[in-house]
Structure 1
Amino acid sequence: MSGVSQWPELAWGDWAATADTLHMWTQIVGKTRLALTPLQNHWWNVPLYVTARGLGTSAMDYGDDVLDIEFDFLAHELHLRMGSGGTQVMKLKARTVADFYEEYLGCLKELGVSVKIDPMPCELAKPVRFDLDTEHASYDPEYVHRFWQVLVHAEKVFRAWGTGFLGKVSPVHFFWGSFDLAVTRFSGRPAPPRPGADKIQREAYSHEVISAGFWPGNGGFGTAAFYCYAAPVPEGLAEAKIRPDGAGWDKALGEFVFKYDVVRALASPEEAVMEFLESAYGAAADVARWDRAALERR
């Protein structure tokens, strides 16, 4: 199969309404994970993970039982499963967030799960409570499936990239707040406090990081892209030149960007993304004076 067929077209304008709706649904499930798991450094207890069929929570303790929840983007269903055998299934289809939220809470109740979920979405400019959101109501199964395919390919490259680092590195997470797939490397040094940081940011950026990921174009960017950034941003990073051709610094975002449409047109998207990750990380680590000899596998 060619790179184009393996990495499907994912023009933001063609599925933005679906993505915005799915974003809210993943937040609802993600907030369940937040409520049922103990805090780990940098909120590592709350993300979702790429699965063989979609996105899932992994097992969450509930009393003497366990619960996992998975978005199945092949059958287009949401599965809620208890270790003791109880199951509930919701159809993923065009419906309002409010309707999804009501049925979801009903499924938890049927399973005997009582959990307090904050109904206000996170990390949005103009959030609307889940139970009041009748605006977001789109679901295009073809584009949701394409999105999952991209996540599968991206996660494979991100995991491979992580093997070259001996320092602290995160799992490959899907963050439902920002609706992106990400992996993060740490220098091991504490970071200075971020001006105006909220509780989420203070925990996420308590230490120096270089983070890379993929997001589909939400948040106003308008096109799917891979990214890489350093926090805090070291002086001089914007002037660094990175590889491959087509990747570079985005002044508005303050990070390196490699647009997905450029990636998928190449002979080997996997090799191009890996080159981007290595080059952008190397530029950031050098400018920030990370101890690369100690942190990297040679």
Structure 2
Amino acid sequence: MDNGWPALDAQHDGPTFALLHLASQMLGKMRVAHAPWANHGWHATLHPVAEGLAIEPIAANGQHFGLTLDLCRHAIVLHVGDGERDFLPLDLGSVAAVHRCLVEMLRAHGLPSNFHGRPNEVPDAVPFAEDVGPREYRPDSAERLHLALERIVPVFGRFRAGFLGKASPVHLYWGSFDLAVTRFSGRSAPQHPGGIPGLPDRITREAYSHEESSAGFWPGGVTAAEPIFYSYAYPEPAGFRTARVAPSSASFDETLGEYVLPYEAVRRSPDPEGELTAFLQSSYDVAADLLKWDRAALEREPVAP
């Protein structure tokens, strides 16, 4: 970790990332159940914060409260508007135990605790309350993921700052457990065909209702895999798959239908931030040019703090 970018390994870190993935779904589902729906489901995502990932506050029963997936304390942290705070350790041995204790913690503070009980976008998903199999949680895995996010989020933020058009925040989608930032042309897109396992078609079609170029970071999760950065366009324009993007370690993955850049290639680069920035910019350039976006109206030089 000479350059500050930590190693991430699917075999060692995968079990912890899987537990964090499912815990993030519980937090996100609380927002789905208790907050007004926003475009593209952006109201329900998790956002990077200093200690990890957090949902936006929820207003209920005359109170405001928030939940954070704290990767420093290795806990789900409850913040209540009256100053109360509570902690739920993540290392409880099973997903069912985390689910049960989360519900109990919320009820103990007089807060709503109901949310949809089955994971989304997970093959053969077992309801949280029934997922009693042993789960390993390694604090070092969570801490390295936290450090990786600390390195990645500012790069994503600077990339987002170069766009005047509609753009998402830098946020984490708990369905797939990926950090993402998305740019939009402002034009409507063809209706998405749907069919994503564990995701209702109405949600998918709203998410992809407008032309977009999206990039992100996927560390793995319930599906164990080596961490990657990705970039795709919707709708996918002709010629997108055969275009050249930077850096040389990036390639188009036919199975995923998107450009991918291994996290390890970025980590080992002499200039990780530059390598990642080149990937974000070049893959966006390809999408915007092939889709004939009005780039002069949509882009700008990033404005420094």
With structure 1 as the length reference, what TM-score do the two structures score?
Answer: 0.95
Which residue in 2 is equivalent to 1:255?
258
1:103-139 deviation per Cα after TM superposition (whole angstroms, max 9, x unaligned): 1100000110124211010011110000000135110
Over the aligned positions, Cα root-mean-square deviation in angstroms equals 1.5
Q: Please state if 1:287 is matched with 2:290.
A: yes
SS in structure 1 of the partner of residue 241 of structure 2: helix
Which residue in 2 is equivalent to 1:116?
114
Identify the range of structure 1 (204-213 vs 21-30) with the bigger mean alpha-carbon deviation: 21-30
2:2 is matched by which residue type in structure 1?
S
Which residue in 1 is equivalent to 2:243?
240
Aligned-pair CA distance for 1:256: 0.7
CA distance in structure 2 between the aligned counterparts of 1:27 and 1:222, rounded to whole angstroms? 19
Instruction: Pick the aligned partner of 1:22 from 20, 23, 28.
Output: 20
CA distance in structure 1 between the aligned counterparts of 2:55 and 2:62, rounded to whole angstroms? 18
Instruction: Pick the aligned partner of 1:156 from 150, 154, 157.
Output: 154
Which residue in 2 is equivalent to 1:2?
2
Aligned-pair CA distance for 1:218: 4.0
Q: Please say if residues 247 and 257 of structure 1, whose CA atoms lie closer than 8 Å, have aligned partners that are also in contact.
A: yes
Which residue in 2 is equivalent to 1:133?
131
Q: Please say if residues 35 and 115 of structure 1, whose CA atoms lie closer than 8 Å, have aligned partners that are also in contact.
A: no
Aligned-pair CA distance for 1:219: 6.6
Instruction: Pick the aligned partner of 1:106 from 104, 107, 112.
Output: 104
Instruction: Pick the aligned partner of 1:211 from 201, 211, 214.
Output: 214
Identify the range of structure 1 (92-101 vs 259-268) with the bigger mean alpha-carbon deviation: 92-101
Aligned-pair CA distance for 1:35: 1.4
With structure 2 as the length reference, what TM-score do the two structures score?
Answer: 0.93
Which residue in 2 is equivalent to 1:176?
174
Change in 2 beyond 3 A, CA 1:136/1:119: farther
Q: Please say if residues 35 and 59 of structure 2, whose CA atoms lie closer than 8 Å, have aligned partners that are also in contact.
A: yes
Trace 1:44-59 onto structure 2 (pairs within 5 A): 44-59=42-57
CA distance in structure 2 between the aligned counterparts of 1:84 and 1:216, rounded to whole angstroms? 35
Which residue in 1 is equivalent to 2:187?
189
Q: Please say if residues 234 and 284 of structure 1, whose CA atoms lie closer than 8 Å, have aligned partners that are also in contact.
A: yes
Stretches of structure 2 lacking an aligned partner (at least 5 in a row): 196-200
1:243-294 deviation per Cα after TM superposition (whole angstroms, max 9, x unaligned): 1121121122111111001000011111110111000000111111111111
Aligned-pair CA distance for 1:70: 1.1
Which residue in 2 is equivalent to 1:276?
279
Stretches of structure 1 lacking an aligned partner (at least 5 in a row): none
CA distance in structure 2 between the aligned counterparts of 1:135 and 1:211, rounded to whole angstroms? 35
1:39 is matched by which residue type in structure 2?
W
CA distance in structure 2 between the aligned counterparts of 1:232 and 1:199, rounded to whole angstroms? 17
Aligned-pair CA distance for 1:196: 3.4
1:212 is matched by which residue type in structure 2?
A
SS in structure 2 of the partner of residue 156 of structure 1: helix
